[in-house]
Amino acid sequence: MTARVAENDVVRGTVDTVYYASPQWSSGRLAVSNGGAVRFAGKLYARTGDLLTLRGRWTRHPQYGRQFDVASMEYDLPLDIDGLAHYLANHPDVKGIGPAKARVLAERYGHAFDQALDDEPEAMARAAHVPLESILALRALWQANALVNRASAWLASYELTHHQVSSLLKRLGNNAVTLLKEDPYLLVGEVPGFGFKRVDKVALKMGATKAQTGRIRAGVLETVREAIDAGHCWVEYQALVEEANALLTMDDLDSWQWVADMVDALVREGALAEVQHGGRLVTTPAMLEMERFLAEAFRRGTGASIHFRDEQDIGGLVASHAPTLNAGQHAAAMNALTFMVSLISGGAGSGKTYTITSILDLCESKGLRVVLAAPTGKAAKRMEQVTGREAFTIHRLLGYNGRAFRRGPDNPLETDVLIIDEMSMVDVPLAWRLFQALQLDRTSVVLVGDHNQLPPVGPGNVLRDLVQRRLVPMTLLEEVVRQAGVLKENSIAILGGTVPKTSPQAWYVFNDLDVPEHLARFICDMYREVLAQKLAHDLVADVQVLTPTHKGPMGTRALNIILQRLLQKMLHNVDVPTVPEGRRPRPLVHDKVIQTRNNYDLGVMNGATGIVRDVTSGGELVIEFDGDRVAIPAKSPWLQDVELAYSLSIHKAQGSEYPCVITVIHKAHSFQHHRNLFYTAVTRARKTAIVLGDAWGIRECARKRSTALRQTFLSLAPGWEESNG
C-alpha cells in the first residue's frame, strides 16, 4: 500500500513518452533516476527528452492507476553561464553584484550554483569580492524563486531584462523554454524591444540555422512591421521580398525564392493580407481592415448633416452669427453645418482657432451638444484655453484605460457634434478607433489641422490623404489674417522655401554656428544673457529647445544634459554630477521633465510636461503635471518613462505651443531635414522664435520638400477597397 504523500511532492526525471501535449496540458511518462517510470498528467507542456522537475501530488486514476498530478513544473536545466551572469548583473533585487562580479560567480560556480549558495556562501563572497550580506541576500532570493531560477537564467541568455523575463514566463509559463528552443523567433514581437535583429543574433549563437522556416517567417513579418513602424500602411510585394531577403542574409542562391514562398504562405494562412492595385500591396490584416473601414466612414460622411438639413439658408445663418469670418472661414463653417464629416486645414495665422470657435458658438446656439478633442493632452489644453470649453484627449474621450477602449461600436459616443483639432497627429489606428465609436447618422464631425505639419508618429497620414484625395468636403484656409504678426508670416514663408532674416523682438536667425560645440555654447550664452534679461522669458517654463534628433552633440539627449547642468547651477546653485557615457541623466528637483508613455494608473499621458517638486530620501520622484502632483516610487519601472524636457524632438513637440522656441537646424541633421519639419518647429512659438545653425543647413532645410511620402491605402485611387485581400 502506497503511503499518502503531501500535495507539494516533487519528482525529477526525463520525459521518455508523451501521450498528449499542448501548451496548457500534457500527459506522459517520466523516466526517473532509479530506473523506474512515473506516469504524469497536468499543467505543463511536455516534450520527449525534456529534463523536468514536477511538483504536485500523487493520485489514482480509475483507468491508468497511480500517476502524478502536476501543479507546476520547472525545466531541470543546466545553468547557462552567460545567462546566469546576465541574470545576476541585471536582477533589480540582486544588490552589490555588477557585471564583472556576476561573471566571476557564474564561471566559477555556475553548474553547481544552487549547492554553492547553500554550502559555501563565504567562499563565493571572497571569490567575487562582495560582502557576505550580498551573497546571503542572493541565496534568499534564489530560494524564494526556486521554481523559475533556471528557466529565468536560460532566458536571460537572450539578454532579456528581469522585467522581460518575468513577463515572458507569466505569458508562456515554463513552457517558454521548450517553445523558444524549438523556435527562438517566437520572441520577436512577444517581448517589447525585441525585434528580429536582436533575437536573431542570440538565436544563431545558440544554434539556429539561417534557413530554418521559423527564421524566414520572422524575417518577413519583421520587414512588414518595420514598414508600418516607419509610417507606411503597406509594402509592395517585390520590395518586401527584397528587403526581407537582405535582412535574412542567407547567402544562398535560392534564398529569394524561399522568402517569396514564405510571403505567399503567410498571405494564404491569413497572417498577411494583400491588395491588387497596380501590383501586389502587402500589409497586415488589421491594417487593411482599418483603412477599409475609414474609407467607408469618410464616404458615408459626405452625406447631409441631420442637424441643419431643414435650414433654408445655411450661408445666411453663418453670416448672421459670425459676420467677421473671411471668405475661407465662412466656407469652412458652412461645410461644418452642411455635411456629417468636413475638414478644415490651414497653416499658422490662417484663423483656424477663430473658425472653430465660431462653429462651436453657432452649434450651441441651436441647442446642439458639442465635444472637443485632440490627440495629445497639450493640444487639448490649448483647445480649452482658446474656446473656453472643456476638451479631451481622444484616448480619454474613448475611455481608454491602458488595456481597452470603453467606447466603440457597441457603446458609441453620445454627442451631436465632434470637433477634432491637430488632426495631422492622428494615425490610422487611432482614427479607426475614433470612427468606430461614432454614429455618423447622429454625430457630425469637424476635422481640423494643418496638412503641412509633420505626419503622425504611427502609421498612415490621414489628414494629408483626406486633403490630397478630397475624400470629404474640405476647406483650405490659405489667407493669413492681418493680425497674424511676424511669427506667422515668417512661418508661412518657410513653406515657400525661404527663411526671413531676423525681425527684432520676435524672430531671430543665427546662421553662423557651423561647429556643434559652438552651437551648444551659444545656447548656454543665450540662457545666461538674453532670454531672461532682454526677452523676459522664464528660463524653464517659457523656453523650449527643439531639434530633429535624439542622438549626437545637437540631439535632445546631449542638450538636455547640458541644459540641466546649466539651469540647476544658474537657478538653484546645484552642481549636477557628470552623467556616465550611455546612461540617462537623473531628474533632480526643479527639473523640467516629460512623460514618454501613457500611464493610466498615474493619470499622466504621453507628452505631458511637468516640474520635479521633490526627490525623497528613499528615491521617490514627485512631479507636478498641470497643477496635479504624482509620486513615482524609487524602484518603479515607470521611472523609465520620465525624461528631461529642456530639449525635445520636433515630433514630440507637435501639438504644443511655447512662449519661446529655439530650433536647431544644422547640416549635421540634413538627412532628416525638410521644410515641413522646419515649419512645424517654428510654429510652436507664441512670442519668440529663434533659429540656430549653419547657413547651408538652414537654407537647405527650407528648400527641400519632404520626399518621405507614406504608402497608404487611403492615398490610392478609388477602387482599391473592392480588390482581394
Residue 348 contacts residue 661 (beta carbons within 8 Å): no
Average pLDDT estimate for 25-42? 89
Q: How many CB atoms lie within 10 A of CB 572?
A: 11
Residue 582 contacts residue 633 (beta carbons within 8 Å): no
Examine the pLDDT at 6 and tell me if it is beyond 60.
no
What is the end-to-end Cα distance of the chain in Å, rounded?
65
Gap between the Cα atoms of 154 and 207, Å rounded = 14
Q: Between 89 and 219, whose confidence is greater?
A: 219
Residue 535 contacts residue 688 (beta carbons within 8 Å): yes
Average pLDDT estimate for 76-88? 77
The proportion of the chain whose per-residue pLDDT surpasses 70, expressed as a percent, equals 95
Query: What is the per-residue pLDDT for 172?
Result: 67
The cell numbers describing 224, all together, are 512588414
pLDDT (tens digit per residue) in 352-374: 999 999 999 999 999 999 999 99
Gap between the Cα atoms of 651 and 425, Å rounded = 9
50 Cβ neighbours under 8 A, 6+ residues apart: 14, 15, 75, 178
What is the rounded average pLDDT for all residues in the chain? Answer: 88
Examine the pLDDT at 169 and tell me if it is beyond 80.
no
pLDDT (tens digit per residue) in 366-419: 999 999 999 988 889 889 999 999 999 999 999 998 788 999 999 999 999 999
* 378-398 CB burial, b ≥16 within 10 A, e <16: bbbbbbeeebeeebbbbbbbb
Residue 587 contacts residue 621 (beta carbons within 8 Å): yes
Query: What is the per-residue pLDDT for 5?
Result: 38
| Orientation of helix 99-109 relative to helix 81-90, angle to 10° | 140
Task: Tell me the sheet residues that pair with 630.
Answer: 623
Task: With cut-offs at 50, 70 and 90, classify the pLDDT of residue 709.
Answer: confident
Examine the pLDDT at 482 and tell me if it is beyond 60.
no
Side-chain half-sphere of 221: how many Cα atoms within 13 Å?
A: 21
Identify the sign of the CA torsion 320, 323, 327, 328.
negative
Gap between the Cα atoms of 481 and 483, Å rounded = 6
Residue 535 contacts residue 659 (beta carbons within 8 Å): no
Q: Between 346 and 93, whose confidence is greater?
A: 346
Using the 8-state DSSP alphabet, how is residue 166 labeled? H
Query: What is the per-residue pLDDT for 161?
Result: 72
The cell numbers describing 47, all together, are 516534450
Q: How far is CA 693 from CA 336, 454, 492, 511, 512, in A?
A: 42, 21, 20, 5, 7
pLDDT (tens digit per residue) in 181-205: 778 888 787 666 678 888 888 788 7
Q: How many CB atoms lie within 10 A of CB 498?
A: 13
Strand ranges across the sheet with 647-649: 507-510, 685-693, 658-665, 543-547, 647-649
Of 541, 514, 537, 456, which is closest to residue 664 (Cα–Cα)? 514
pTM over 0.85: no
Examine the pLDDT at 492 and tell me if it is beyond 60.
yes
Residue 460 contacts residue 291 (beta carbons within 8 Å): yes
Task: With cut-offs at 50, 70 and 90, classify the pLDDT of residue 95.
Answer: confident
Query: What is the per-residue pLDDT for 367?
Result: 94
Examine the pLDDT at 156 and tell me if it is beyond 80.
no
Residue 589 contacts residue 613 (beta carbons within 8 Å): yes
Examine the pLDDT at 612 and tell me if it is beyond 90.
yes
Gap between the Cα atoms of 397 and 222, Å rounded = 33
Calculate Rg over the CA atoms of the chain: 30
pLDDT (tens digit per residue) in 664-705: 999 988 777 888 999 999 999 989 999 999 999 999 999 987
pLDDT (tens digit per residue) in 442-475: 999 999 999 989 898 899 999 999 999 999 999 9
